[in-house]
Amino acid sequence: MWAFHFVDWIVGAAGATLLTAYFVRILYRQNRWLRTLDWQKNLLVNAIVNDFRQPLSVILMSLQYLRKEIGPSEQAAKLLRTVQSCSQNLMEMVGDLLDVARLEEDQSLVDLREIPPAEFILEGIRLLQPLTVVNGQVLKTSLPPALPIVIGDKERLRRVVTNLVSNAIKSAGSGGTITVTASHDPERERLLISVGDTGAGVPPELRARLFKKLARSPSRPGGGLESTGMGLYICKLIIEAHGGDIWLDDGAVQGATFTFSIPTAPNG
């Protein structure tokens, strides 16, 4: 009798194995199909976003020319400044969308070179300094003169600083203070850069998803153009591609402070 049970068990096990193999094949085909769809989606997004860049570049150049030719009309000049600022923000969003697609697919960076940190930090601040003047805000910087060299992609690191300072400007509100500091951790061979503000801080319900894709915060006192919700996400991708980390500092008495670290160059 036991022989019949044994044969029955063998048949059942073989059937289960065949059924498992069948479903594995189905899942494999579905996964391959989904990956193909995702690849096609990324190609389409990249094509559309790239198409946005040319007309935006023309708009920005035309606005720059108009500002020189507009004459003494303060109201017209103010409107042009607003349009130019919004256009620049849109160009930054286009850059973010392209970088997200590229870095999600491949974490490597191609334009690596030795950079004095002050270069990308000050450039990232300079782009937004006029906005702090309009908002009546104070922008403070503390950059030691002997910061070590880093090896990185200057434009992308500049974008990280710009994104963080832009967020701080929005959070600080009219009359607020934005502080940008840099320091060197020689034991860990890391450069640390922090951007803080004196605003209301990050709501507790947002903290867990701060660096996730499409994370959006509630309306901020600083106002400004609505973002793609990818500012901190692209910062995370860029910093991780440099072998670094980014985080929200805990225990701030007022406002929020974001810090990122990247490796310094050997003997830098």
Q: Looking at the structure, do residues 160 and 197 belong to the same domain, yes or no? A: yes
Q: Which of 96, 180, 64 is nearest to 132 (CA)?
A: 180
- Say if CB 260 and CB 109 are below 8 A apart: no
226 pLDDT more than 70:
no
In this predicted model, which residue has the larger pLDDT, 241 or 215? 241
Taking the C-alpha atoms of residue 205 and residue 33, their distance in angstroms, rounded to an integer, is 36
Amino acid at 16: A
Give the domain range for residue 49.
Answer: 2-105
Report yes or no on 268 lying in a domain: no
Residue 31: partners with Cβ closer than 8 Å, 6 or more residues away: none
Report yes or no on 62 lying in a domain: yes
Q: Looking at the structure, do residues 76 and 121 belong to the same domain, yes or no? A: no
Q: Stretch 240-252: mean pLDDT, rounded?
A: 86
Report yes or no on 245 lying in a domain: yes
Q: Is 185 helix (H, G, I), strand (E, B) or coil?
A: strand
186 pLDDT more than 80:
yes
Report yes or no on 57 lying in a domain: yes
Q: Is 258 helix (H, G, I), strand (E, B) or coil?
A: strand
- pLDDT-based confidence at 3, cuts 50/70/90? low
Q: Looking at the structure, do residues 30 and 60 belong to the same domain, yes or no? A: yes
Q: CA-CA-CA-CA torsion for 61, 65, 66, 71, nearest 10 degrees?
A: 160
Q: Which of 60-64, 177-181, 247-251 has the lowest mean pLDDT?
A: 60-64
Model confidence over 40-56: pLDDT tens digits?
Answer: 566 556 555 555 666 66
Alpha-carbon distances of 175 from 3, 19, 85, 170, 198, rounded to whole Å: 87, 68, 20, 11, 10
Q: Looking at the structure, do residues 240 and 119 belong to the same domain, yes or no? A: yes
Model confidence over 93-144: pLDDT tens digits?
Answer: 777 777 777 777 766 666 789 999 999 999 999 888 888 888 889 999 999 9
Q: Looking at the structure, do residues 166 and 251 belong to the same domain, yes or no? A: yes
Alpha-carbon distances of 72 from 84, 134, 192, 212, rounded to whole Å: 18, 19, 45, 46
Alpha-carbon distances of 45 from 34, 106, 109, rounded to whole Å: 16, 16, 20
Strand order in the sheet with 177-185: 138-142, 177-185, 190-197, 257-263, 245-248
Taking the C-alpha atoms of residue 125 and residue 40, their distance in angstroms, rounded to an integer, is 37
* β-bridge pairing 177-185 and 245-248: unpaired
26 pLDDT more than 70:
yes
Residue 9: partners with Cβ closer than 8 Å, 6 or more residues away: none
Q: Looking at the structure, do residues 187 and 229 belong to the same domain, yes or no? A: yes
- Helix 74-105 × helix 154-172 angle, to 10°: 130
Taking the C-alpha atoms of residue 54 and residue 5, their distance in angstroms, rounded to an integer, is 74
Amino acid at 70: I
Report yes or no on 30 lying in a domain: yes
Question: What CATH number does the domain containing 49 carry?
Answer: 1.10.287.130
Q: Looking at the structure, do residues 132 and 89 belong to the same domain, yes or no? A: no
Q: Looking at the structure, do residues 118 and 9 belong to the same domain, yes or no? A: no
Q: Looking at the structure, do residues 79 and 126 belong to the same domain, yes or no? A: no
Question: What CATH number does the domain containing 125 carry?
Answer: 3.30.565.10
Q: How many domains would you assign to the chain? A: 2
215 pLDDT more than 80:
no
Taking the C-alpha atoms of residue 167 and residue 246, their distance in angstroms, rounded to an integer, is 15
Q: Which of 46, 100, 107, 90 is nearest to 213 (CA)?
A: 100
For residue 189, give the DSSP letter. Answer: T
Of 105, 125, 151, the position where a domain reaches its end is: 105
181 pLDDT more than 90:
yes
Of 76, 105, 134, the position where a domain reaches its end is: 105
Percent of residues, the chain, with pLDDT higher than 90: 27
